[in-house]
Amino acid sequence: MSATLAEVSLHWKRAVESWRPPVTDAPTHAFSDAMSGAMHMTPALSDALTILGAAGIVIPAFARLKISPVIGFILVGIVAGPFMLGAMARETPWLEAVSITDPGGIQPFAEFGIILLLFAIGLELSFKRLWAMRRQVFGVGAAELLGSALLIGLGLMATGNGLAAAVVLGLALSMSSTALVIPIAGTSSPVGRAAFAMLLFEDLAIIPLLFLFTSMGGAEGLGGLFTVAWKGALVIIGMLIAGRLLLPHLFAQAARTKSPELFLAVSLLVVILASLATSAAGLSPILGALVAGVLIAETEYRSEVELVTAPLRGLALGVFLITIGMQLDLNALAADWPTLLLALVGVMIVKSLVTATLLRLSGSRKGTAAETGLLMASPSETTLILLGAAAVAGVIDREAAAFWQAATALGLTVTPLLAAAGRWASRRVDGRAREEIPPSASAGRTVVFGFGRVGQMVAEMLDEHKRPYLAVESDIDSVIAARQAGFAVLFGDVARRELLDKLELGQAAAVVLTMDDPVLTARITRQLRADHEALPIIARARDTDHAATLYRAGVSDAVPEALEASLQLSEAVLVDIGVAMGPVIASIHEKRSVLRSQIMAAGELDREPTLGRRRARDSMAKQK
């Protein structure tokens, strides 16, 4: 990134000094002021208040609305930034408490958030996985960057740009956002794996592109590139050797203290030293963070490191997203919105088509290609860096750089919307999967809603007892994998009333709700019970409170997974420590009876809930 870790430390020091009480000849007065509660609002303290307030409000509010908090943080940046509340604060001083008055002061912390993101990505990788991805990274990733740059550059030349400007803008606009795409898609799904391979190549290409732009401006860029290459190779080799030898011992000492604070400190020390090492060699600090994450992933401390660094990483990424919103001047966008929108849409169309085509040629299914293409369509935060470097080198003029930087910031803002559009396109492209099993075939079947680990286990047990079933799942990847494994799975979204009607559930033997969504489960239960009074509805519940809610909604049986797991664990513990099996089983039944009574009271039921056990017991009694 443009700012090194040294700059982060410098800005942190300045920020601390900005709110530190001034040193006077009477320090006791400062101490007494602090003890009495006196505090002066400084720009740094105001910015920190705005950021922390945004994190405390945006994340829970948007999570409740089931909207990505990415959009919320960007909106906070727009509203609290220098073009809205920040500008109004000059005339209305009290607005300084809810605006960001020093955008440059928080930029290093935002870039540190990207460093921590790459560190977290490294924790999910291993050298074996990286080696297995080499073809995707240097094959599809390189083709995606160069192919998009070629088509965008040709389009820019057709509109009157020179060759040098077209090359620079094409390469810069072909980059995609690691900081937004990876949190949205992850790295384990087919879309996440495809996107990560291309993003990894782009991150590796940042430094060579910076040197290329410098050389195109007339500076000695290419010679410096070779110097950076051999220095960087030596640094990375040294990191690999030192990491293998030192990291296990370092984290072992931290683990023995059983102090989460020390573990966090050691983790941050490793990532900062690794980032400083690659920065000193002329490479990007995010490359050092990635290598540090991969090295720790090879140890047994990976999970603990990931847990202790997650809160700091989330907050720092929130700061980065706020800085993206702060770059959007809505007045300037409104003044030139047709040209800006046309340029951005053109870039996104080119990138989507190139990415989707390459993924299809490499063997990805159509849905994955379509979703990844849309997700990777907008430019990147690194585009802003490359555009700035090209403007400084004189390859493009500053007006062109400012125009494309505004387009990039707007593109970053709509990335979550592109992700949603990609998921919709994936379902539409792969929609044929839902037609291979006729919905009318649910007659006489047990219909299972959701085909995760719980739904699959239910289907396996039904199949074991030769009972017909039909599962319904909204994730097309899970549907395809289940079909290949021989399961009868239908693609569809059970939240849609049209699908429930089409399934003709009145003819089904029973409906099993296995989704891990309490609100959706209760809503579907009420709909099914209103339409089918005699239909057996068996639902997965999180706990006894959720089970009571489901009984009130109309389920026949609700099985609290936390309750059953706890009872089985208790039974295993008691037997293993020597308690006789008879008393253990009796106490488990007694405890289950107490919990049934609690659910009955909470759910205001006129009968004792079965918790999935009484029906089996009654059937056994009838057989006797």
Helices marked H in 124-189 — which ranges? Answer: 127-132, 134-135, 142-158, 163-173, 178-185
Of 516, 614, 601, the C-alpha closest to 552 is 601
Region of residue 297 (phi > 0: left; psi between -120 and 50: alpha; otherwise: beta)? alpha
Which H helix or E strand runs over 559?
strand 557-560
User: Under CATH, which number does the domain 438-623 receive?
Assistant: 3.40.50.720
Mean pLDDT (whole number) for 390-397:
83
pLDDT of residue 40: 60
> Please, are residues 29 and 21 in contact by the beta-carbon 8 Å criterion?
no
- The domain limits of the chain are 5-40+102-427, 438-623
Cα–Cα distance, 406 to 326 (Å, whole number): 11
pLDDT of residue 578: 86
| pLDDT band at residue 35 using 50, 70 and 90 as cut-offs | very low
| pLDDT: which is higher, 248 or 6 | 248
Report the DSSP pairing between strands 557-560 and 489-491: unpaired
pLDDT of residue 217: 59
pLDDT of residue 43: 66
Of 432, 315, 322, the C-alpha closest to 367 is 432
Cα–Cα distance, 567 to 127 (Å, whole number): 41
Cα–Cα distance, 214 to 370 (Å, whole number): 35
Mean pLDDT (whole number) for 285-309:
83
Neighbours of 233 (CB within 10 A): 12
> Please, are residues 422 and 372 in contact by the beta-carbon 8 Å criterion?
yes
Residue 154 identity: L
Give the single-character DSSP code of 21: P
Which H helix or E strand runs over 537?
strand 537-541
Of 400, 13, 390, the C-alpha closest to 215 is 390
Cα–Cα distance, 218 to 285 (Å, whole number): 26
Q: What is the pTM of this model?
A: 0.58
> Please, are residues 368 and 191 in contact by the beta-carbon 8 Å criterion?
yes
Cα–Cα distance, 332 to 108 (Å, whole number): 26
pLDDT of residue 22: 43
| pLDDT: which is higher, 493 or 557 | 557
List, in order, residues 6 or more apart from 553 with CB less than 8 Å away: 522, 525, 526, 529
Mind spelling out the 3-state secondary structure of 73-123? Answer: HHHHHHHHCCCCHHHHCCCCHHHHHHCCCCHHHHHHHHHHHHHHHHHHHHH
> Please, are residues 294 and 125 in contact by the beta-carbon 8 Å criterion?
yes
Number of Cα atoms under 13 Å in the Cβ half of residue 568: 6
| pLDDT band at residue 618 using 50, 70 and 90 as cut-offs | very low
Packing angle of the helix pair 366-375, 337-361 (nearest 10 deg): 150
Burial class (CB in 10 A: 0-12, 13-18, 19+), 96: buried
- Bridge partners (DSSP) of residue 557 are 538
Q: What 3-state class would DSSP assign to 269?
A: helix
- Bridge partners (DSSP) of residue 491 are 473
- Is the confidence at residue 408, as pLDDT, over 90? no
10-22: pLDDT as tens digits: 443 443 344 344 4
Q: Which residue has the tokens 């203290």?
A: 257
pLDDT of residue 473: 86
| pLDDT: which is higher, 357 or 432 | 357
Cα–Cα distance, 98 to 544 (Å, whole number): 42
pLDDT of residue 588: 82
| pLDDT: which is higher, 178 or 607 | 178
- Is the confidence at residue 291, as pLDDT, over 90? no
Cα–Cα distance, 188 to 201 (Å, whole number): 18
| pLDDT: which is higher, 205 or 376 | 376
List, in order, residues 6 or more apart from 22 with CB less than 8 Å away: 30
> Please, are residues 560 and 544 in contact by the beta-carbon 8 Å criterion?
yes
| pLDDT band at residue 147 using 50, 70 and 90 as cut-offs | very high
Cα–Cα distance, 348 to 184 (Å, whole number): 18
Burial class (CB in 10 A: 0-12, 13-18, 19+), 169: buried
Could you tell me the two tokens for 607?
A: 């009968």
- Is the confidence at residue 399, as pLDDT, over 70? yes
CB-based burial, 275-288: b 16+ in 10 Å, e otherwise: bbbbbebbbbbbbb
pLDDT of residue 158: 92
DSSP 3-state percent helix, strand, coil across the chain (nearest 5): 75, 5, 25
User: Under CATH, which number does the domain 5-40+102-427 receive?
Assistant: 1.20.1530.20
DSSP 275-313: HHHHHHTTS-HHHHHHHHHHHHHTSTTHHHHHHHHHHHH
Cα–Cα distance, 50 to 57 (Å, whole number): 10
- Bridge partners (DSSP) of residue 62 are none
pLDDT of residue 66: 62
Cα–Cα distance, 389 to 121 (Å, whole number): 27
pLDDT of residue 25: 46
pLDDT of residue 510: 92
Q: What 3-state class would DSSP assign to 161?
A: coil
Cα–Cα distance, 50 to 80 (Å, whole number): 8
Mean pLDDT (whole number) for 384-396:
81
Mean pLDDT (whole number) for 116-121:
79
> Please, are residues 377 and 418 in contact by the beta-carbon 8 Å criterion?
yes
Which H helix or E strand runs over 357?
helix 337-361
Residue 301 identity: Y
